[in-house]
A = this chain, B = another copy of it.
Amino acid sequence: MMRNPERATVSSVAKAAKVSRASVYAVLNATKNINIRVSEKIEKRILQVADELGYVRNENARMLVTGKTNTIGVMLTGMENQFFDPMLKEIYRIGDGRGYSISVSFSSWDMERERRGISGFCGNRFEGIIWVPITPGGDDFKRNIGLIESMNIPLLLIGTYEYPESDNRCQVGIREEESVSTGIEYLSSLGHRRIGIATATATECRRRNMHEIRLGHMRKLASDAGMIIYDRDIFNTSDNAYGGVGFAAEILRRPRSSWPTAIFAADDMLARGLIAGLSCLGVKVPDQISVLGFDDSPGNETAGIPVTSVSLETAEMGRRSLPLLLDVIERKLPDGSPQRIILKTRLVERKSCSSPPMNRMTSKELI
């Protein structure tokens, strides 16, 4: 009296093929080195019967015996932007290569759902967890960490924050300040002295937070680098996607002598909008004004004018995070190897930035 007469098991296959369970097991796991020999004749019969009955191994039962799920849980916030896309692609690729499955869960910025997700990962005895927390540091965060670590499940945190180091816990991320500095230094090295900023601190709360932090760093680091940012050169919008287009009209309304020579946008959407608006109004980017993006999100390279941008190395985050986590899981970390990886952000040069027009004129005059 089976619950699922249609669902084949090792036993049902063995019975149908008139052999023992062990023979079936040996044949269906032929890739592994098993000390059970099976004659060709029987092997053939078993394979045929297994196929006829549609045998698919029950991974839950397998887990119970081996203690391994070979699955990594990935807890993300949401997919309202493509930010995680390159990262996740890398995680899948590496997981495939090393024989691990990936199970993704989204918190949708809801603490309770995040808790349930993490708790599900633990209940399913996943091998490891990659987690982009909603709010690092809070009580919920600590409870979740506590649960994961009490189960001895290796954890990898992703984010711009720095967590205290700990056994069985790793981190991959960037430093927000360093990322801004990568852009400021680049603009400075091109010779820009008066720059503008495009930001969107009036957008939805979570992005706003990030925009505010970036804006703060931009002002400070630009000033440290001897640059001037006038208040009227800080363009702010609520529309993250197309707000930049509007900035273009605002700039064109002024005499050219009072333009900044470059604009550092707080994300690529703003930069692309700005470039599109300027181009549409007949302003040449970068000849008349440079535009620098942020994030280096997918699409920058194929934009009308390919956008020079500060890469947060999200693909690299994926490329570094899963191998690190798997090394912890498989305990093949050499002593003293890093548990915390802070990635250097990188300036990706394309077409939207050049030296300021004045510098170019000056150099011409000098010749």
* A interface residues (Cβ-Cβ under 8 A, vs B): 3-4, 6-7, 54, 56-61, 63-64, 67, 69, 78-82, 84-85, 88-89, 92, 96, 101-106, 108, 113, 116, 119-120, 122-125, 147, 150-152, 238-239, 241-243, 245-246, 248-249, 269, 272-273, 275-277, 279-281, 298-299, 302-304
Give Cα A273 to B147, complex, Å.
46
A56–B284 alpha-carbon span in the complex (Å): 62
Q: Please give the distance in Å from A29's CB to the nearest CB on chain B.
A: 14
Q: How far is the CA of A60 from the CA of B65 in the complex (A)?
A: 10
Closest to A117 in B: B101
- Looking at the assembled complex, report how far the CB atom of A283 sits from the nearest CB atom of chain B, in whole angstroms: 11
**A60-B60, A80-B298, A92-B113 are known contacts. Are A245 and B276 too (CB-CB below 8 A)?**
yes
Which residues on B sit within 8 Å (CB–CB) of A269? 241
B residues in contact with A67, CB < 8 Å: 3-4
Known: A106-B92, A280-B277. A302 touches B85 (CB 8 A): no
Taking the closest CB of chain B, its distance from the CB of A322, in whole angstroms, is 15
A123 touching B56, Cβ below 8 Å: yes
Pick the contact of A82: B80, B116, B122, B277 (CB < 8 A): B80
In the bound assembly, the distance between CA atoms of A231 and B113 in angstroms comes to 50
Interchain CB contact under 8 A, A58 and B245: no
Q: What residue in chain B is nearest A244 (Cβ atoms)?
A: B276
Task: Assess whether A279 is in contact with B57, with CB atoms less than 8 Å apart.
Answer: no
**Could you tell me if A105 and B103 are in contact, using CB atoms closer than 8 angstroms?**
yes
CA distance A245 to B3 in the complex (A): 60
Residues of B within 8 Å of A304, CB to CB, are 239, 242-243, 246
Question: Contact check: which of B79, B88, B125 meets A85 at CB < 8 Å?
Answer: B79
CA distance A140 to B10 in the complex (A): 26
Q: How far is the CA of A69 from the CA of B123 in the complex (A)?
A: 11
Name the CB-closest residue of B to A243.
B304
9 contacts between A and B (CB under 8 A): A60-B61, A78-B85, A79-B79, A101-B116, A102-B105, A103-B104, A242-B275, A273-B276, A277-B280
Provide the bound-state CA to CA distance between A3 and B243, in Å: 57
Contact A277 B245 (CB under 8 A): yes
Shortest 8 CB-CB distances between A and B: which pairs?
A245-B276, A54-B150, A79-B79, A242-B276, A60-B60, A59-B123, A60-B63, A104-B104
Contact of A239 among B105, B119, B303 (CB under 8 A): B303
The reply to whether B89 and A108 contact each other, CB–CB distance below 8 Å, is yes
Contact between chains at A56 and B246 (CB < 8 Å) = no
Q: Which of B61, B79, B246 contacts A84 (CB 8 A)?
A: B79
